[in-house]
């Protein structure tokens, strides 16, 4: 199985990905795909078993189901983010569980993939998480050009890099797409549907309400590097627009 690894991923085998899901078949399939991509994969059947290991040795990326016995994914995510905030967490969520997806984002998850999911899509999200992890660990430059360079904001979609006032902002791939959609047309109001379509261009089941949670998380991450930043304006009944330069 070929997931079209990019040339930049010669270092990918240094990264360990934990797969936490109570469904053995799902764990096995994801682990096989990860190993074929060159990752070191570790499987856990529930949150409690995972947490026992994570306290001693935190993985580089965590793929996490929400509904599990003993300790659910939301609680495990909170514990992970309290202990190691930079560790990327990707939730696996049923498409119909909108409430759980919103709670997952609010608990600190970096991204989510809906079940049933495309393995190619999940591998792409994991590679993006590894790239962001590398950037937050000190890789500051962008070998490609910044296609968005406006005021304090610089964005490079090729490397999923976001810079605000010279400081890297660790956005998920979903958040990067939403911010890029707004930054591409500063001052233009984008509806929630437009933002979520930008975030998930191949998904015909758009959850507009999730846009608010994503905007909230982007705002929080930018304020962590610049507490005075005022990034978005909510336009009642329409959506959001970027406030940079106003």
Question: What Cα–Cα distance (Å) separates residue 83 from each residue in 40, 77, 151, 228?
Answer: 22, 10, 34, 27
State whether residue 172 is helix, strand or coil: coil
pLDDT band at 11 (very low <50, low <70, confident <90, very high): very low
> Do 162 and 110 have their domain in common?
no
pLDDT band at 109 (very low <50, low <70, confident <90, very high): confident
pLDDT above 50: residue 135: yes
- The DSSP string of 23-76 is -HHHHHHHHHHHHHHT-EEEEESSHHHHHHHHTTS--SEEEEESS-SSS-HHHH
Indicate whether 233 belongs to any domain: yes
> Do 11 and 129 have their domain in common?
yes
> Do 67 and 177 have their domain in common?
no
**CB proximity list for 165: less than 8 A, separation 6 or greater:** 152, 225, 226, 229
Indicate whether 2 belongs to any domain: no
CB 157 within 8 A of CB 216: no
> Do 87 and 56 have their domain in common?
yes
Residue 142 CA from chain centroid, whole number: 19
CATH code of the domain in which 32 resides: 3.40.50.2300
Domain boundary among 106, 136, 166: 136
Indicate whether 32 belongs to any domain: yes
CATH code of the domain in which 224 resides: 1.10.10.10
Indicate whether 141 belongs to any domain: no
> Do 124 and 156 have their domain in common?
no
How much is the pLDDT for 186? 82
> Do 13 and 117 have their domain in common?
yes
Helix 192-199 and helix 210-225: axis angle, to 10°?
Answer: 80
Determine the length of the chain: 246
> Do 94 and 211 have their domain in common?
no
Burial tier of 76 (Cβ tally within 10 Å: 0-12, 13-18, 19+): buried
Domain that holds residue 159: 148-242
The pLDDT tens digits of the residues spanning 154-177 come to: 988 766 788 898 888 878 777 888
Helix (H) / strand (E) element for 239: namely strand 239-242
> Do 132 and 153 have their domain in common?
no
Query: The whole model's pTM is what?
Result: 0.62
Label residue 230 left, alpha or beta by phi (over 0 means left) and psi (-120 to 50 means alpha).
beta
Tell me whether strands 61-65 and 89-94 are parallel, antiparallel or unpaired. Answer: parallel
For the chain, what is the domain count?
2
pLDDT band at 48 (very low <50, low <70, confident <90, very high): very high
Nearest Cα to Cα of residue 194 among 155, 241, 137, 144: 241
Indicate whether 143 belongs to any domain: no
How much is the pLDDT for 241? 92
Indicate whether 229 belongs to any domain: yes
Indicate whether 1 belongs to any domain: no
> Do 167 and 208 have their domain in common?
yes
How much is the pLDDT for 230? 86
Domain boundary among 86, 101, 136: 136
Nearest Cα to Cα of residue 113 among 184, 190, 202: 202
> Do 182 and 234 have their domain in common?
yes
State whether residue 176 is helix, strand or coil: helix
**Residue of higher predicted confidence among 208 and 234:** 234
Alpha helices of the chain — where are they, by DSSP H?
A: 24-37, 47-54, 73-83, 98-106, 119-136, 173-183, 192-199, 210-225
> Do 81 and 123 have their domain in common?
yes
Indicate whether 238 belongs to any domain: yes
**Residue of higher predicted confidence among 191 and 174:** 191
Residues 133-137 have a mean pLDDT of 59
How much is the pLDDT for 130? 81
């Amino acid at each position: 199985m070929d997931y079209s690894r990019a040339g930049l991923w010669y270092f990918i085998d240094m990264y360990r990905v934990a797969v936490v899901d109570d469904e053995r078949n799902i764990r096995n399939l994801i682990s096989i795909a990860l190993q074929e991509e060159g990752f070191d994969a570790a499987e856990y059947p529930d949150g409690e078993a995972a947490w026992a290991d994570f306290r001693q040795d935190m993985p580089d990326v965590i793929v996490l189901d929400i509904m599990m016995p003993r300790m659910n994914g939301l609680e495990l995510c909170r514990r992970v983010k309290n202990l190691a905030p930079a560790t990327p967490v990707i939730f696996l969520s049923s498409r119909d569980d909108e409430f759980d997806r919103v709670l997952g984002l609010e608990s600190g998850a970096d991204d989510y993939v809906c079940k049933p999911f495309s393995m190619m899509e999940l591998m792409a999200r994991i590679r993006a998480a590894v790239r962001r992890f590398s950037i937050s660990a000190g890789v500051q430059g962008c070998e490609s050009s910044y296609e968005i360079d406006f005021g304090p904001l610089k964005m490079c979609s090729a490397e999923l890099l976001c810079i605000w006032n010279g400081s890297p902002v660790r956005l998920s791939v979903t958040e990067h797409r939403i911010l890029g959609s707004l930054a591409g047309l500063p001052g233009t109001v984008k509806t929630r549907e437009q933002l979520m379509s930008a975030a998930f261009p191949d998904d015909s089941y758009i959850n507009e309400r999730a846009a608010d949670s994503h905007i909230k998380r982007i705002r929080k991450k930018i304020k962590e590097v610049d507490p005075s930043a005022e990034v978005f304006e909510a336009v009642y009944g329409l959506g959001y627009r970027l406030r940079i330069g106003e």
